[in-house]
Structures are given as structure tokens and as C-alpha cells.
Amino acid sequence: MLQIKENEILANHSTFKIGGAARYFAVAKNKEEILEVVNFAKGKKLPFFVFGGGSNILFRDEGFDGVAIKLSVVSYQLSDNKIIIGAGTPLAQVIMKSVENGLTGLEWGIGIPGTIGGCVAGNCGAYGHDISESVKKVKTLGREYLRNKCNFSYRESRFKGNDKKEIILKIELKLNKGDKEKSKTEIKNIIENRKGKIPPYPSIGSIFKNPKPLVARKLIEECGLAGMIIGNAKISDLHPNFIVNIGSAKSEDVFALIKICKEKVKEKFKIDLEEEIVVV
């Protein structure tokens, strides 16, 4: 049964552990519950936004004067080399289930937090790959999109952003037949490679897109900004494209560090850094 709560603290639903209260909040587990809470928001004449794992979203300190909908549509159907997944299914679960069924193509994503829905919306990627390579179809609340209609680009899609109201329900992925043991070895190697590179503090991953062919973290580092602290937010020494929460950081602390990074990189390299995170 759908529960709509009042004044739910969004920091509790963010990997950053930052954010004020949502006026209303619900966890929706299926299409019917999503429709119910969307209609609730419309009935109250309030804005709404939908999110998954909260691993790429910066929630503001002042909270959200509307309805926050946490998507928990979890399912996994396999047919040959095709899988259909509920948008709220954790990405790690999708990867491991695929490998266990002898499918390859998603190993690069191990260690990336969040749900498959959020991954598709932000076209997440690593090690020269991104999720759009494997997407065949995306089913939203209103319609179905083939891959070429999803407007995928670097860390973008037609579904990304709290202003987008196309709510992803399910994703159909097409993978390749692979060797289970080889995939497990690759995953093990990636996990090992990630050790010591991901800061051990709450964060929402990379803040900025890489201005290809350059790398954002190196530009920030060359500006001497690694380790800078404002309030309880810090530009990571380990990975300067991460801003981490070292205590009880506020969103305003993070915004201040983002502003400094953009200004200093622009001043030194004449490059405009662009955020890849979503701000709500």
C-alpha cells in the first residue's frame, strides 16, 4: 500500500547525506503507485520529481516544496541475450544477474552506485563504455522509446533532470553471450582498480563532465584546489572531481566549491566546466 509521508528528510535518501525535507514523499513500487502519487501531486497543484538511488542528485538545504517520488520498481526478466529490468533495480544487481546468466557487456559498471533507471537517465559510464551501448528500449509511464529516440549523449538523455516528467518504468537491454568466469575476473579486476580511487566519504560521484579530451579532475588539481574545504564539504584529494561530505555539509558549501572550481578552471584554462549532477 502506498504511503505518502510529510516532511521527509531527503538527506536520508542521498548518497551525499545532504538535503532538507520534502513537503511530501512516497516510495512507488509499481506503475499504479506512481500514477497515484503523480495524481496526488497534481491534485495539490505541487511540483514533483522522481529519483532512484539518490547517487547523482544534490538536494538543497531548504528542501523541496513539492512531492518527491522514490522509484522502487524492481524486476528482472531474462530471455536469451535480452533482459528487461524495472527502473528501481540496483545497477550492481543487474550486472551480477547478467554475469550469472552468461551475459557480458555491463562489467564496466561495477562499483557505480544507484539504480538502472538513474543510470539510463544520466547515461552513466566508465572505462570507455556507457549504458546507452546496451539499451534497446526504454518504457516510460507514457510511452516506449527505441534507443535512437532516447537522445543519448555524454552523461545525458531525454530523461535526465528534475524538469523531465517522462518517468522510466522499465529498460530493455541487449547484451552478448559471454564467459561467466571471464566476466567475474573482469569484475574483480575493476573492483581492485577502483580501490584507492574512490573517496571514503559520502558523495554523489563526479561533479563535472570531462571536457573531452581533457579530464575534469586533472584540471581542478592543476588549479591547486584538491583538498579545499568550505564548511564540511571538501574537494577530494583522492579524486578532485569528487566533492565529499566530511561531516554535516550543507548544499551551500557544495555550491560554493562548485563555483570556485568553475571560476579557477575558466581563469587558468579558458574552459567552462559543466556539472553532470542533478540539483533539486
CATH number assigned to the domain comprising residue 236: 3.90.78.10
Q: How many CB atoms within 10 Å of residue 271?
A: 14
One domain, residues 248 and 151: no
One domain, residues 249 and 141: no
CA distances to 27, 82, 172 from 136, rounded to whole Å, are 27, 9, 5
Q: What pLDDT, on a 0 to 100 scale, did the predictor assign at position 1? A: 82
Predicted TM-score (pTM) of the model is 0.91
The reply to whether 8 belongs to the active site is no
What Rg value do the Cα atoms of the chain yield, rounded?
A: 19
Q: Which of 140, 164, 194 is the last residue of a domain?
A: 194
Torsion sign over Cα 110, 116, 121, 123: positive
**Domain assignment of residue 241, yes or no:** yes
For the ranges 86-90, 112-116, 196-200, 268-272, the lowest mean pLDDT is seen at 196-200
One domain, residues 63 and 87: no
The reply to whether 276 belongs to the active site is yes
**Domain assignment of residue 141, yes or no:** yes
Instruction: Tell the burial category of 148 from Cβ atoms under 10 Å away from its Cβ (0-12, 13-18, 19+).
Output: exposed
Interstrand relation of 125-126 and 129-130 (parallel, antiparallel or unpaired)? antiparallel
**Domain assignment of residue 260, yes or no:** yes
> Residue 228 gets which letter from DSSP?
-
Domain that includes residue 223, residue range = 216-279
CATH number at residue 167: 3.30.465.10
One domain, residues 136 and 60: no
**Domain assignment of residue 169, yes or no:** yes
- Give residue 194's pLDDT band: very low, low, confident or very high (50, 70, 90): confident
One domain, residues 123 and 180: yes
The cell for 21 is 525535507
For the ranges 116-120, 151-155, 194-198, the lowest mean pLDDT is seen at 194-198
Count structural domains, the chain.
3
Q: Which amino acid is at 113?
A: P
- Residues 136-151 have a mean pLDDT of 95
**Is-contact 237 150, C-beta < 8 A?**
no
**Domain assignment of residue 64, yes or no:** yes
Inform me whether the pLDDT recorded for 179 exceeds 70: yes
Share of the chain above pLDDT 70, in %: 99
One domain, residues 46 and 155: no
**Domain assignment of residue 207, yes or no:** no
Instruction: Tell the burial category of 60 from Cβ atoms under 10 Å away from its Cβ (0-12, 13-18, 19+).
Output: middle
Please, what is the average pLDDT of the chain? 95
Span 91-137, pLDDT tens digits = 999 999 999 999 999 999 999 999 999 999 999 999 889 999 999 99
Inform me whether the pLDDT recorded for 85 exceeds 70: yes
**Domain assignment of residue 201, yes or no:** no
> Residue 153 gets which letter from DSSP?
B
One domain, residues 54 and 27: yes
Indicate which residue of 23, 155, 157, 183 is catalytic: 155
| Chain length of the chain | 280
Inform me whether the pLDDT recorded for 214 exceeds 90: yes
Inform me whether the pLDDT recorded for 162 exceeds 80: no
Q: Which of 71, 101, 126 is the last residue of a domain?
A: 71
φ and ψ at residue 199, rounded to 5 degrees:
-60, 140
One domain, residues 93 and 189: yes
One domain, residues 54 and 81: no
One domain, residues 141 and 166: yes
End-to-end CA distance of the chain: 27
The reply to whether 206 belongs to the active site is yes
Q: What pLDDT, on a 0 to 100 scale, did the predictor assign at position 164? A: 60
One domain, residues 159 and 84: yes
Span 163-177, pLDDT tens digits = 667 899 999 999 999
Q: Any residues with CB less than 8 A from the CB of 267 and at least 6 apart, and which?
A: none
One domain, residues 54 and 82: no
Indicate which residue of 55, 132, 206, 251 is catalytic: 206
Span 7-19, pLDDT tens digits = 999 999 999 999 9
Span 225-251, pLDDT tens digits = 999 999 999 999 999 999 999 999 999
